[in-house]
Amino acid sequence: MGNFTLPLARRARRVVGVEGDAGLVAKAGNNAARNGVGNAAFVKENLFEPAQFGPWANEPYDFGAARSAASGRFRTAPAMAHWRPRRVVYISCHPGSLARDAETLVHAQGFKLTCAGVMDMFPQTTHVESIAVFEGPE
């Protein structure tokens, strides 16, 4: 729906939001139009099949924001080696997937973990959002 992409677009030259659900991609496009955001593009991709990503995936990116779902099946970190962003903000509702991908980002790709935290967005439940910021290799 553009929850991350649209605010980022206000501070970037161009932003690409990638989502696996066509309905959410359409809603994100509508939200961008309704809010006058013209520098955001939205792409539907099967996020579990990075080898089949479209042309957007061949472009370099300065910044990456990754959102990992509870299943933890989508492995975001391997794609970061190709894109080489200067900074990655990783948001996960599954701390285990964040830990797994942090290991890849830091040990295999040379990123540096600069800060991390937990947001209790749903008080009175066990659900938390884990957030980590990684700086790219020099």
Distance CA 68, CA 51 (A): 18
What spatial distance separates the first Cα and last Cα of the chain, rounded to whole Å?
A: 33
Query: Which pLDDT score, from 0 to 100, does residue 76 have?
Result: 66
**Looking at the predicted structure, is the pLDDT value of residue 72 above 70?**
no
pLDDT tens-place string over residues 76-129 = 666 777 778 888 888 888 888 888 888 888 998 899 999 999 988 888 888 888
Which run of H or of E encompasses 63? strand 63-68
Beta-carbon contacts of 51 under 8 Å, excluding residues fewer than 6 positions away, are: none
Alpha helix positions (H), 13-108 = 22-34, 77-83, 95-103
Q: Which residues are catalytic?
A: 93
What's the predicted TM-score (pTM) here?
0.79
